[in-house]
């Protein structure tokens, strides 16, 4: 039986504004993601990112020809989803606040 956590449900903890701690899929030690590293492409200390993605970002390796290849690991993707969710929530909260103010003023 596979007890691994799906990547989109991995727990994300903010260390600071642009650094995140992401639970590993198998619940071993967490990985750290720097969302601003590599000129904003991000960086993770997991073996997949270090072996597969970082050499491409450093120009030491050519990316695979597959159109499905992405310069990220599941931890970095999870952080991007986390940040997008926070942004969308903040925008919706602000729009609701503005709508409420318009109703009370109108």
Q: Is 56 in contact with 62 (CB distance < 8 Å)?
A: yes
What are 43's strand-pairing partners?
Answer: 34
What pLDDT is attached to residue 106?
66
- Look at residue 74 in the predicted model and tell me its pLDDT: 93
Tell me, what's the pLDDT at 2? 58
Cβ atoms of residues 43 and 49 within 8 Å: yes
**pLDDT tens figures, 6-54:** 877 889 999 999 999 999 887 678 999 999 999 999 999 999 999 999 9
Residue indicated by tokens 């198998």: 26
Strand boundaries in 1-106, DSSP class E: 12-14, 19-22, 31-34, 43-44
How do residues 64-98 score in pLDDT, each as one tens digit? Answer: 888 888 889 999 999 999 999 999 998 999 999 88
Is the pLDDT reported for residue 1 higher than 70? Answer: no
């Amino acid at each position: 039986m596979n007890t691994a956590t799906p990547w989109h449900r991995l727990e994300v903890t903010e260390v600071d504004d642009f650094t995140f701690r992401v639970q590993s899929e198998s619940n071993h030690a967490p990985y750290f993601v720097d969302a601003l590293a590599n000129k904003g492409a991000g960086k993770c200390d997991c073996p997949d990112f270090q072996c597969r993605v970082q050499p491409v970002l450093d120009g030491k390796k050519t990316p695979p020809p597959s159109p499905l290849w992405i310069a990220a690991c599941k931890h970095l993707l999870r952080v991007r989803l986390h940040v997008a969710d926070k942004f969308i929530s903040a925008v919706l909260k602000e729009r609701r606040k503005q709508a409420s103010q318009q109703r009370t003023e109108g």
